[in-house]
Amino acid sequence: MKYLFCILCLYCSYAVAQDSLTNLKKNRADYVLSYDTLLHIESWYSTKQTELRLFYPDKFRIFLAPSEINNLQLDFSYRFIDAAISFTPGFLNPGNPAKGQTSRFNLGGGFAAGRWYFSGEHTRLKGFYMRNSDDYRAQLGNLPYITFPNLESISNQVLIRYNTNRLFSTGALRGGMEIQKRSAMSFLPTLLFAQYKLRNAVADTSINNQVTRSTDINFILPLSATWVIHPKWYLTGTAGPSIGADFFNSDSYNSNNQLTVLKGTRLTTGYLVQLSAGFNARQYYFGADAMIRSYAHQIENIDKMEKYFYSVQFYFGVRLRAPKILKKSVDWVNKISPISFD
């Protein structure tokens, strides 16, 4: 008898869980419309800037920035997978000889698993100029900008984000995979792991500092809210602080031309602000996005080193029927994975 009672309890628990899951799916369907079974192809035009700001004692400052910042990006998304590649074409960057030339390459991708989102990105930049050269116009004379044509920055980053509200679509934040049907908000705690390598691409014995490496671990704590203005129009705002740590080491030569290695760990603090607006139809969608992210820490004899990122992006995307080979490949990945992505 007691075994029958246990079986009945287990059955009732299962039935209640199934009903709860069914109601949860119904509730989410009232808020989110998913198009993830269609192949999404997006074209992005963006103005991206990555600045390294160095604040020294006695109000001496150096703001290093790439000279060419207009990018084209092609993005492919299907179900829980997305991939993107971007570059800086010459026709969008006529160049300013006084600032020098910048080459940029970016490759990234990501995948979703329920309320979790994981992404990775590799970026290579070569060619910087001192954006605040006007601060030292008296010393520079007729030289418009100080340039660093061989200075190269290589970065790799991994992002892990969790959505605390099932009724809020993070898929809509990444493009057209989902549509937010009703206004909602969510807290999106994010872990960002990034490695940076700053070096002179051409060996130069006149430069003391040869390579600086930093590993940054940042916890970003933003609140994101989407306002559905019209069934096809939306506005999204995201903002929050960040806190983390920077682990750095620097290879340089002293006055005796001996290699020295400096290491350290510093606390970092910063913020993220982002604003997006877009339009969604059945077969196409478009929108705009603006973002500022900054975090800073003390390093060596520098009062503050700030990594400052900002961008303005415009995108247009279409939804197409996915090829059978793509569908079967993704089905196979989902089948063998220990985690259910769909």
For residues 248 and 254, what is the distance between their CA atoms, to the nearest angstrom? 18
Q: Could you tell me which of 127, 56, 42 has the C-alpha nearest to residue 86?
A: 42
Partners of 262 in the β-ladder:
250
Structure-token match 């415009």, residue found:
314
For residues 297 and 303, what is the distance between their CA atoms, to the nearest angstrom? 8
For residues 173 and 226, what is the distance between their CA atoms, to the nearest angstrom? 9
**CB-side exposure of 157: number of CA atoms within 13 Å?**
19
89, containing H or E segment: none
User: What does the domain layout of the chain look like in residue ranges?
Assistant: 35-336
**CB-side exposure of 36: number of CA atoms within 13 Å?**
20
Show the DSSP H helices in the chain as ranges: 2-31, 137-140, 324-336
For residues 289 and 38, what is the distance between their CA atoms, to the nearest angstrom? 23
pLDDT of residue 23: 46
pLDDT of residue 342: 62
Largest pairwise CA distance in the chain: 96
Count CB-CB contacts under 10 A for residue 296. Answer: 19
Token digits for 73?
């990006």
Q: Are 271 and 240 in contact (CB under 8 A)?
A: yes
Q: Which amino acid is at 267?
A: L
pLDDT of residue 257: 62
3, containing H or E segment: helix 2-31
For residues 210 and 34, what is the distance between their CA atoms, to the nearest angstrom? 50
For residues 297 and 243, what is the distance between their CA atoms, to the nearest angstrom? 10
pLDDT of residue 203: 52
| 82, burial (CB in 10 Å: exposed 0-12, middle 13-18, buried 19+) | buried
Q: Could you tell me which of 67, 56, 65 has the C-alpha nearest to residue 100?
A: 67
pTM for the structure as a whole: 0.80
Q: Which amino acid is at 168?
A: F
Q: Are 53 and 62 in contact (CB under 8 A)?
A: yes
Spell out, as residue ranges, where the chain has pLDDT lower than 70. 1-26, 174, 201-210, 251-261, 300-301, 339-342
Q: How many residues in total does the chain contain?
A: 342
- Domain 35-336 = CATH 2.40.128: yes
Given CA atoms 7, 12, 18, 21 in this order, what sign does their dihedral have? negative
Given CA atoms 122, 52, 218, 287 in this order, what sign does their dihedral have? negative
What is the distance between the terminal CA atoms of the chain, rounded to a whole angstrom? 40
180-202 pLDDT, tens digit per residue, is: 999 999 999 999 999 998 888 65
